[in-house]
């Protein structure tokens, strides 16, 4: 949610930062900034008030076209462009600060707006300040949170490193940095995907089995910025001459300092829905053999489970819907959440638990997919969040709030006297 209003007043004694969201990016649609006289992104800098001083913070403008696709250029995030109503200003909620008091704006700026960020869960607030300079442009913040290296197929962020199989869209390594409570050891052997539909058309029944190796992938865009790195692939699964490709389309992965997410679209054409008789789907992360002492828990299995299986007994719940799970150990802690459409939940489609010991793995299954009632393009999201400490009950709340209760943004013009030269 975002608003634009017409004036910010000097801060009072109560206008200190109370926003505590750690993992959330703040994404401001530039449609809210169209009233600004300058549209060239190169002249803008973003600041927050830290310890009473105006300090530069990491930010980036990302260009999108009218179809909402990221525009990739050879200049990358360092190259400027003239923003229009389709684009985005991105920074991290954790970098907001107190509200600005009178006298802190530099005299060399020519435009300034206040960005107020509010947590709809607890009302916490933080502020950032977007300033434009026509000349004597100050330096950027020196901080970069995430990059993607196309040569090594590796995403490197402040709190993690993720490796990818060349020419595919599945990961083959995850390391949690000491800065996030990890050891830097590899936790993940590889991601695996299993899709096993059964179709019946007239007198013909067809039951193919597909894995992550069967998805054709073409990487067609990488963008590295101070706040996030973006990787775009085009992928498709050939179901044969009688069926359209599935799921098809474009998949983006966004890498932030402590999280990465892959929103995607599940395309279900009319013929697929009508012909579908059964559907097995699992996505798994195979755990590296040296980390099998790590533990697992999720929303329907609230006690620690082991990958050896020796202490789990028969009490593991696998067929109840759950949105998140956590894997934790001395190597670090990460949460994974799987977001499916609300319609699917209404139809009884379930995200089941996958945990096994040989080889050790965890993930999700999709159950009751034959309940799919309507053709369409359905939005999903898979997000991994690095938690900065061993899991404690309730630690999932901030990560889920990022998905379920997005931050609210209000843009205000500033009416504060500038500091004297």
Q: How confident is the model at residue 359 (pLDDT cuts 50, 70, 90)?
A: confident
- The reply to whether 9 and 114 lie within a common domain is yes
Q: Is residue 209 part of a domain?
A: yes
pLDDT at position 311, please? Answer: 60
Q: d(Cα 368, Cα 207) in Å, to the nearest integer?
A: 17
Model confidence pTM above 0.85: yes
Q: How confident is the model at residue 6 (pLDDT cuts 50, 70, 90)?
A: very low
- The reply to whether 88 and 123 lie within a common domain is yes
Q: Check pLDDT > 50 for residue 387.
A: yes
Q: Is residue 397 part of a domain?
A: no
Q: Is residue 91 part of a domain?
A: yes
Of the candidate ranges 108-117, 172-181, 409-418, the one whose mean pLDDT is the lowest:
409-418
Q: In what order do the strands lie in the sheet with 88-92?
A: 25-29, 88-92, 60-62
Q: Is residue 52 part of a domain?
A: yes
Q: Is residue 419 part of a domain?
A: no
Angle value at C-alpha 335, between 402 and 247, nearest 5 degrees: 80
Q: How confident is the model at residue 221 (pLDDT cuts 50, 70, 90)?
A: very high
Query: Encoding tokens for residue 212?
Result: 């992550």
Q: Check pLDDT > 50 for residue 3.
A: no
- The reply to whether 200 and 81 lie within a common domain is no
| CA 148 to chain CA centroid, nearest Å | 15
Residue 402: asked if its preceding bond is cis (omega within 30°), the reply is: no
- The reply to whether 78 and 105 lie within a common domain is yes
- The reply to whether 66 and 192 lie within a common domain is no
- The reply to whether 167 and 306 lie within a common domain is yes
Count: domains in the chain? 2
Q: How confident is the model at residue 415 (pLDDT cuts 50, 70, 90)?
A: low
Contact 322, 305 (CB under 8 A): no
- The reply to whether 124 and 259 lie within a common domain is no
pLDDT at position 372, please? Answer: 92
Q: d(Cα 108, Cα 42) in Å, to the nearest integer?
A: 15
Domain residues for 121? 2-141+405-414
Q: Is residue 225 part of a domain?
A: yes
Q: Is residue 396 part of a domain?
A: no
Q: d(Cα 260, Cα 367) in Å, to the nearest integer?
A: 25
pLDDT at position 248, please? Answer: 57
In terms of Cα–Cα distance, which of 219, 217, 221 is closest to 230?
221
Q: d(Cα 337, Cα 382) in Å, to the nearest integer?
A: 6
- The reply to whether 71 and 150 lie within a common domain is no
CATH code, domain carrying 211: 2.70.98.30
The residue that leads in pLDDT, 407 or 311, is 407
- The reply to whether 111 and 223 lie within a common domain is no
- The reply to whether 152 and 224 lie within a common domain is yes
Q: Check pLDDT > 70 for residue 245.
A: no
pLDDT at position 219, please? Answer: 84
pLDDT at position 153, please? Answer: 92
- The reply to whether 225 and 89 lie within a common domain is no
- The reply to whether 174 and 304 lie within a common domain is yes
In terms of Cα–Cα distance, which of 182, 181, 366, 198 is closest to 284?
366
Beta bridge partners, 3, equal: 410
Q: Is residue 399 part of a domain?
A: no
């Amino acid at each position: 949610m975002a608003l634009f209003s017409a004036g910010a007043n000097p801060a009072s004694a109560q206008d200190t930062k109370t926003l505590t969201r750690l993992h959330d990016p703040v994404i401001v649609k530039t449609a809210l900034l169209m009233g600004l006289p300058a549209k060239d992104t190169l002249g803008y800098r973003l600041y927050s008030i830290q310890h009473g001083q105006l300090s530069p913070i990491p930010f980036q403008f990302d260009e999108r076209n009218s179809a909402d696709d990221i525009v990739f250029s050879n200049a990358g995030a360092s190259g400027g462009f003239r923003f229009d109503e389709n684009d985005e200003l991105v920074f991290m909620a954790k970098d907001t600060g107190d509200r600005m008091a009178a006298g802190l704006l530099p005299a060399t700026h020519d435009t300034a707006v206040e960005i107020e960020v509010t947590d709809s869960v607890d009302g916490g607030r933080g502020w950032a300040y977007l300033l434009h300079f026509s000349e004597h442009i100050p330096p950027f913040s020196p901080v970069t949170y995430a990059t993607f290296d196309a040569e090594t197929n590796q995403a490197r962020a402040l709190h993690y490193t993720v490796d990818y199989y060349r020419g595919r869209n599945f990961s083959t390594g995850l390391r949690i940095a000491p800065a996030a409570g990890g050891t830097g050891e590899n936790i993940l052997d590889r991601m695996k995907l299993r899709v096993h539909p059964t179709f019946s058309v007239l007198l013909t029944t067809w039951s193919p089995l597909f894995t992550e190796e069967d998805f054709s992938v073409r990487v067609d865009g990488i963008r590295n910025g101070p706040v996030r790195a973006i990787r775009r692939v085009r992928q498709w699964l050939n179901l044969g001459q009688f069926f359209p490709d599935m799921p098809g389309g474009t998949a983006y992965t966004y890498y932030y300092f402590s999280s990465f997410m892959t929103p995607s679209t599940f395309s279900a054409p009319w013929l697929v829905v009508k012909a579908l008789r059964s559907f097995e789907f699992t996505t798994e992360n195979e755990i590296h053999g040296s980390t099998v002492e790590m533990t697992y828990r999720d929303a329907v299995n609230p006690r620690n489970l082991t990958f050896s299986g020796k202490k789990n007994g028969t009490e593991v719940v696998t067929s109840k819907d759950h949105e998140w799970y956590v894997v934790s150990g001395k190597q670090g802690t990460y949460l994974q959440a799987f977001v499916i459409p609300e319609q699917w939940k209404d139809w009884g489609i379930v995200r089941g638990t996958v945990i096994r010991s040989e080889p050790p793995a965890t993930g999700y299954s999709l159950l009751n997919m034959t309940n799919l009632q309507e053709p369409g393009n359905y939005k999903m999201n898979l997000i991994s969040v690095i938690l900065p400490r061993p899991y404690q009950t309730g630690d999932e709340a901030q990560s889920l709030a990022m998905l379920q209760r997005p931050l609210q943004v209000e843009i205000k013009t500033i009416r504060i006297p500038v500091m004297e030269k």
